[in-house]
Structure 1
Amino acid sequence: MSVFHGFEGKRVTVMGLGLFGGGAAITRFLARGGARVTVTDLKDEEKLSASVEKLRDVEVRFVLGRHVESDFTDADILIVNPAVPRNSPYLQLAREHGVTFETETNLFFKLCPAPIIGVTGSNGKTTTTSLLGAMLRDLGVRVYVGGNIGVPLIEHVEEMTEDDLVVLELSSFQLEDLHAIERSPHIAVVTNISPNHLDRHGTMENYIAAKRAIVDFQRDGDIFVANARDERLASWAGASNARVLRFSSQDRVHDGTYLDGSALRFEMDGDSGEICDRGEILLPGIFNVENYLAASAAALALGVRTEAIRRIARTFRGVAHRLELFLEENGVRYYNDSIATTPESTIAALDALEGPIVLIAGGYDKKAPLRQLARKVIVRCKAVVLIGVTGPRIAAELRRCENAGALQVCEEGTDFEAAVGRAISLAEPGGCVLLSPATASYDMFANFEERGDAFKDLVRSLTSPAANQ
């Protein structure tokens, strides 16, 4: 049966195009299937110009800068963008009129013929997804990597077969909707669980429930790869119908992967051995060792050779915006860690680096607790430059810490150029400047990529010979 079956002639409303075209792929897919598609977004066409341009060659009706009730009451199907608040009155209106709800992720799960390996976690999921995709290519099959990592795969579902493999990074926003279709991936990899997106989910319990959808509907024959150090995941494993593989950077595990001294090792299916040495991994920090262990457990379960995993360790240089060393000038190293949108991510980055650290932190407030971050900053940093809405919150937490007087704290509000300039002036040879905000970017930038690119551009500009003449 065609993947387009059931869409021809249907009235479909896509709610939420997004500044970077998050709804463009599903719109093209539906239009190709013969649906009569309306795209609606509260942002106007000027703000969405880049996204609209991606659909210029598609027969689609746009309703931008507003929502029209009839687009929700008269539709056959409503596609809801993950960023749309679930308490939107327009969603309630559609429910009252019996409209069928769908999301791009749910539709992909329904239509994809290939085994899906889902990766989630509060931290590390992007690196783990990328690593696993690279490792699986050793099997000689087609491997698709996408999802929350920024690559929508719905447009490729038509070409996929059951012999392919799909690696999907899944956010809590995407996962919470899987409950509606009672689907989980064949292999679920969960790196860790810590407070995140509480501005959206309201409580930690709701956030955990959304994440848990990645394992809730697994069956016999499926696999759950869990961080052995995370107590919440231990409870998930105890209730799982799937085979459970564990990974640990501290303790030996008897079915999974672990760090033994400097060696990454595995025990699985009656076999055991060394995967690689920690020194072979190019990326810094124990959290990246854990990312390798998580990806390796899933890869080994699918038949990837240890030699291939070792080769990836020696060649994989990471993903953009994740502890990305992009410049060394006058003895100072500059790291772009803009993808660090949680306090835990920034704590991990601080633990990974050496020398006096000047940290740039702050941004949009996701209501995450900041006390542990403040304590780590006091211990690891020479100075901190604070920006954005959460700048004052972080400063207040720092003042509550012991030895707060030893840390130089600068608050620059929303002046990002001034913040970067201040950080550069405070750095010293042998040390580093680290952008690791611990928060989202939405108060000052469209997304973490834009923030990271702006940081790199400013550093290169402000440290250039011309700037110092």
Structure 2
Amino acid sequence: MRISQLEGRRVALWGWGREGRAAWRALRARESGEARPLTVFCLAEEAAEIRMLDDPALSPETEVTAERLSAFDIVIKSPGISPYRPEALAAAERGTRFIGGTALWFAEHAGDAGIAAGTICVTGTKGKSTTTALLAHLLRAAGHRTALAGNIGLPLLEVLDPQLLPEFWAIELSSYQTRDVADSGARPDIAVALNVFPEHLDWHGSQARYVADKLALVTAARPRIAVLNAADPQLAALALPASEVRWFNRADGWHLRGDDLYRGERLVLDTTTVPLPGRHNRGNLCAVLTAIEAAGIDAAPLAAAAQSFRPLPNRLQRLGERDGIVYVNDSISTTPHASLAALDCFRSQRVAILLGGHDRGLDWTEFAARMRERAPAAVVTMGANGPRIHALLAPLAQSAGFALAQAQNMETAMARAKELLDGPGVILLSPGAPSFGAYRDYVARGRHFAALAGFDLAAISSIPGLGIA
């Protein structure tokens, strides 16, 4: 659905975060006459902010019910709001259509055969932000004007009408947004799927629905070319008759042998010099180079440009050292799989890991099993699911040789981690759980961790390369 098709319809916004504000600005920017009435379903503190805006046709409401939602033809919702909530499902049954800003953007950019030209979309349970930023970095290194936007921190609707169009759009999409692309009626030019692990089950309602929504980017959205990870069993089993498929992590394409990067049988680069934390992130360089080839660009000469890539904040971010302790901020880690990957990056060092946050009911048994094989020096649990993780690990601590403690909050967790390390080592914030409840988002959690460790927030918080360059 294009923005012009909203004319004459009853429209509401649901959510007043950055995505909601971007949708409001985009709708107003495309209006040619009098401002259409818009209702915003939002929090009480946001309602006060909205009333102070110079927009009398914008009306905030703080109570969201099926009855109120069903009063509108179209509800443009923010990504964090699940369409599977009971009030949304009830309103949808009565005819209300729920869409996201991502769907509006793609509909506006549909060209020949419905393909949004130059779009390279990236999704995956872990690694998608770094992969998307690295993609933009290498495309720019090749001299191509490229936009870096999406879930990484710049809503697509904020770059709806740029003064100078980029050649390529490097777009990160979460599982909250991938279905929007399919619903937009537009097709991505290239879609990259990195991996699929259980996550966001509270938003999606079940693991099966999470997988279906996540993979909608390469199934229902029918990209011109799908770039898939041959090492992921669920991706390897996909049949995509509407798309050409390019594989990475396969011997006939881009893949790693140890730390060496290969294109087929050709050795291209020793990745130990690339500033990508963890072998899994260096492996995603294979995804980026495969996507660049899919865009018709010779990728091999660009591989070396990855050495000048600047790692993103909150993603295995080495903040620095204090009194012999290295602090690593991996606040974006929201699954046990991500925490295990983080631990693998520091396997040769003494590590105290901080685990826990919002409880989405994810299974931590595989994490516990790995502790039997290769445990860190210490584990400190915190947050709503901290007691559940602690109870699972407690029977293993003595036999596996790691110290275990509980904490009520981040301050206490860091103090306990220092005590348990009792000397040099690494304090790793890789919670394996969302930040909801204790923090506004994972960024606020990472900033709190950095502040408690004594680091300059301004120096470690910015995402390089956002926007068009």
Which TM-score tier does this pair reach, normalised by the shorter chain? 0.7 to 0.9
Alignment partner of 2:198: what SS? coil
Q: 2:246 aligns to what?
A: 245
Q: CA deviation at 1:22?
A: 2.6
Residues 110-161 of structure 1 show CA distances to partners (whole Å, capped at 9, x for unaligned) of 1125321111111111111111111111343321111111211213222378
Alignment partner of 1:344: what SS? helix
Shifted more, 159-168 versus 112-121: the winner is: 159-168
Q: 1:345 aligns to what?
A: 338
| Counterpart selection for 2:392 from 386, 389, 397 | 397
Alpha-carbon distance between aligned partners in 1 of 2:247 and 2:343, rounded to the nearest angstrom: 26
Alignment partner of 1:186: what SS? strand
User: Is residue 143 of structure 1 aligned with residue 146 of structure 2?
Assistant: yes
Distance 1:435 1:39, change over 3 A: farther
Q: CA deviation at 1:421?
A: 1.7
User: Is residue 84 of structure 1 aligned with residue 106 of structure 2?
Assistant: no
Alpha-carbon distance between aligned partners in 2 of 1:146 and 1:58, rounded to the nearest angstrom: 27
Alignment partner of 1:171: what SS? coil
Residues 3-29 of structure 1 show CA distances to partners (whole Å, capped at 9, x for unaligned) of 7533456542101223xx331101110
Q: 2:454 aligns to what?
A: 460
Q: 2:463 aligns to what?
A: none
Q: CA deviation at 1:218?
A: 5.6
Q: CA deviation at 1:76?
A: 4.1
Shifted more, 385-394 versus 83-92: the winner is: 83-92
CA contact (8 A) 2:261 2:270 kept: yes
Q: 1:376 aligns to what?
A: 370
Alpha-carbon distance between aligned partners in 2 of 1:163 and 1:441, rounded to the nearest angstrom: 34
CA contact (8 A) 2:337 2:367 kept: yes
Alignment partner of 1:185: what SS? strand
Q: CA deviation at 1:183?
A: 4.6
TM-score (norm 1): 0.86
Shifted more, 337-346 versus 137-146: the winner is: 137-146
> Which residue identity lines up with residue 233 of structure 2 in the other structure?
E
CA contact (8 A) 1:176 1:213 kept: yes
Alignment of 1:86-101 (within 5 A): 86-92=83-89, 94-95=91-92, 98-101=95-98
Aligned residues: 444
| Counterpart selection for 2:195 from 175, 192, 196 | 192
Alpha-carbon distance between aligned partners in 1 of 2:245 and 2:209, rounded to the nearest angstrom: 24
Alignment partner of 2:117: what SS? coil
Distance 1:217 1:451, change over 3 A: same
| Counterpart selection for 1:420 from 414, 417, 438 | 414
Distance 1:334 1:96, change over 3 A: closer
Distance 1:424 1:71, change over 3 A: same
Structure 1: any 5+ residue segments left out of the alignment? Answer: 462-469
Distance 1:346 1:29, change over 3 A: same
| Counterpart selection for 1:282 from 275, 286, 293 | 275
| Counterpart selection for 2:263 from 262, 266, 283 | 266
Q: CA deviation at 1:428?
A: 4.6
Q: 1:364 aligns to what?
A: 358
Residues 419-468 of structure 1 show CA distances to partners (whole Å, capped at 9, x for unaligned) of 1122123335442100000000103111100000000000118xxxxxxx
Shifted more, 121-130 versus 155-164: the winner is: 155-164
Alpha-carbon distance between aligned partners in 2 of 1:402 and 1:176, rounded to the nearest angstrom: 42
TM-score (norm 2): 0.86
CA contact (8 A) 2:43 2:62 kept: yes
Shifted more, 109-118 versus 85-94: the winner is: 85-94
RMSD: 2.8
Alignment partner of 1:452: what SS? helix
Structure 2: any 5+ residue segments left out of the alignment? Answer: 110-115, 456-469
> Which residue identity lines up with residue 352 of structure 1 in the other structure?
C
Alpha-carbon distance between aligned partners in 1 of 2:261 and 2:54, rounded to the nearest angstrom: 50
Q: CA deviation at 1:94?
A: 4.2
Alpha-carbon distance between aligned partners in 1 of 2:175 and 2:192, rounded to the nearest angstrom: 14
Greater RCO structure (CA 8 Å; 6+ sep): 2
CA contact (8 A) 2:356 2:385 kept: yes
Q: CA deviation at 1:285?
A: 1.7
User: Is residue 334 of structure 1 aligned with residue 327 of structure 2?
Assistant: yes
User: Is residue 12 of structure 1 aligned with residue 2 of structure 2?
Assistant: no
Q: 2:382 aligns to what?
A: 387
Alpha-carbon distance between aligned partners in 1 of 2:170 and 2:179, rounded to the nearest angstrom: 18
Alpha-carbon distance between aligned partners in 1 of 2:393 and 2:119, rounded to the nearest angstrom: 43
Alpha-carbon distance between aligned partners in 2 of 1:301 and 1:170, rounded to the nearest angstrom: 19
Alignment partner of 2:431: what SS? coil
Q: CA deviation at 1:71?
A: 5.5
Alpha-carbon distance between aligned partners in 1 of 2:171 and 2:210, rounded to the nearest angstrom: 19
Distance 1:111 1:393, change over 3 A: same
CA contact (8 A) 1:7 1:33 kept: no
CA contact (8 A) 2:82 2:204 kept: no
Q: 1:123 aligns to what?
A: 126
> Which residue identity lines up with residue 378 of structure 2 in the other structure?
A
Q: 2:458 aligns to what?
A: none
> Which residue identity lines up with residue 335 of structure 1 in the other structure?
V
CA contact (8 A) 1:331 1:428 kept: no
Alpha-carbon distance between aligned partners in 2 of 1:368 and 1:68, rounded to the nearest angstrom: 29
> Which residue identity lines up with residue 201 of structure 2 in the other structure?
L
> Which residue identity lines up with residue 280 of structure 1 in the other structure?
T
Distance 1:96 1:4, change over 3 A: closer
Residues 37-71 of structure 1 show CA distances to partners (whole Å, capped at 9, x for unaligned) of 52433521x26777x49x83555523242237775
Q: 2:233 aligns to what?
A: 231
Distance 1:202 1:74, change over 3 A: closer
Residues 333-366 of structure 1 show CA distances to partners (whole Å, capped at 9, x for unaligned) of 1100001111111100100113110011100012
Alpha-carbon distance between aligned partners in 2 of 1:48 and 1:130, rounded to the nearest angstrom: 34
Distance 1:422 1:261, change over 3 A: closer
CA contact (8 A) 1:216 1:240 kept: no
CA contact (8 A) 1:266 1:273 kept: yes
Alpha-carbon distance between aligned partners in 2 of 1:60 and 1:143, rounded to the nearest angstrom: 36
Task: State the identity %.
Answer: 32
